[in-house]
Amino acid sequence: MTLAPIDCDIHPVLPGLASLAPYLDPHWREQIVARGLDEQESISYPKNAPLTARADFRAPSRAGTDPRHLAAEALDPFGTGLAICNCLYGVQLPFSEDLGAALASALNDWIAREWLDRDQRFRASIVVPTQSPARAAAEIARLAPDRRFVQVLMLANDSAPLGNRAWWPIYEEASRHCLPVGIHAGSSYRHAVTGIGWPSYYIEDYAAQAQSFQSQLASLIAEGVFAKFPDLVFVFIESGWTWLPAFLWRFTKFWRGLRAEVPWVAAPPAEIVRARVRFTLQPIDAPEDPAVLLRVLEHIGSDRLLLFSTDHPHWQFDGTAAIPACFPEALAQRVLAENALETYPRLAASVRGGNAPPPPGADAAEENGPGETR
């Protein structure tokens, strides 16, 4: 049976802070006006630049703001059965954890009402206020009964390396609800995006995100997150993945020499990554020659790591040619749907149940932990 594709990275765009007003409590609704709070969007994606969204996917309204338009452009051409909405509105930016928590809750409620309620194919990530891991965990617990939320969403650049123990309450709550943790390119701008200081240009910022993903991968492994949470899966989103083989060669080589300092890392890092980390497909930082791309996949050493994504409506992805033509049929099928079903227990439950979204609060008994699905 051919499974309908599952798009693991689409971007609904909040039209503006005013759109969250109906989902904020009276205090915060008043505060946004009284303080003259402006948009929380980070500058990591230049929304006003002509190339922010693909020209052929420009909606009459701002790209990504209309669920029907996004479905027509990003889901229908692929016959996509399910798509995960990753809203990148910058709730992580305010230094106030109270404001961050209020905005995160409002954003998640907005996604549920304005997107998930409008198209049965939409699923979403829970955006969490990382200013406070405890409040982030509370937000996961609040949303988890709505099984259309299938993942927890964090940014590749936050206030500290993501393996640090301070983040573990988030992982504990995600693990409790069998929710993978997605890490998307982006920043709360507590630190420079490069390891050597602030760059001048967006091209530097965007290219440097791969450094951040490498550092986060090293942090998650070295700090023992995978050992502490044996069922937890991480999904690197819009991270690129052609850098992965060289990074794993280097990290695994030095693990062999230095493993005495991290005794909880009991397996070679490359093995841990193959078992517990997934990567969205687009945008691909791929070489021109398809033979070289296939060799990169060979170096990665598994056909289970990549998850289909369009990254709609951003401009970097390859439109309807999102799956490289050189991918063999069996690999394409894995990437289009099978890998996502192994990664996201709630998507697997949906597909088994005929793709209809379960009602909020549905019994979680059928859920398998990610560790049990592969």
Nearer to Zn ion, 12 or 133 (CB): 12
Our finding on whether 7 is near Zn ion (CB under 5 A) is no
**257 membership: H or E segment, kind and range:** helix 244-258
Structure token pair of residue 240: 């690129």
Query: In this chain, which stretch among 4-12, 96-104, 122-130, 199-207 interacts with Zn ion, using CB under 5 A?
Result: 4-12
Residue 66 sits in the site that holds Zn ion (CB under 5 A)? no
The H or E element spanning position 251 is helix 244-258
Total site size for Zn ion, rule CB under 5 A = 3
If one asks whether residue 9 binds Zn ion (CB under 5 A), the answer comes out as yes
Give 146 or 238: the residue with its C-beta nearer to Zn ion: 238
Say if residues 313 and 87 touch (Cβ distance below 8 Å): no
What is the smallest separation between the CB atom of 239 and Zn ion, expressed in angstroms? 9
Site string for Zn ion, 187-206 (x = CB under 5 A): --------------------
238 near Zn ion, rule: CB under 5 A: yes
Query: DSSP letters of 12-71?
Result: -----GGGGGGGS-HHHHHHHHHTT------TTS-TTSTTSB-GGG--SSSTT--HHHHI
Distance CA 133, CA 203 (A): 31
Mapped to the 3 state alphabet, what secondary structure does 145-180 carry? CCCCEEEEEEEEECCCCCCCHHHHHHHHHHHHCCCC
Stretch that binds Zn ion, among 16-24, 73-81, 305-313, 325-333 (CB under 5 A): 305-313
| Only segment of 1-9, 12-20, 27-35, 172-180 that touches Zn ion (CB under 5 A) | 1-9
Q: Which amino acid is at 367?
A: E
223 binds Zn ion (CB under 5 A): no
User: C-beta of 179: minimal distance to Zn ion in Å?
Assistant: 18
Q: Which of 66, 146, 311, 367 binds Zn ion (CB under 5 A)?
A: 311
Q: What φ, ψ does residue 350 adopt, rounded to 5°?
A: -65, -45
Residues that bind Zn ion (CB under 5 A): 9, 238, 311
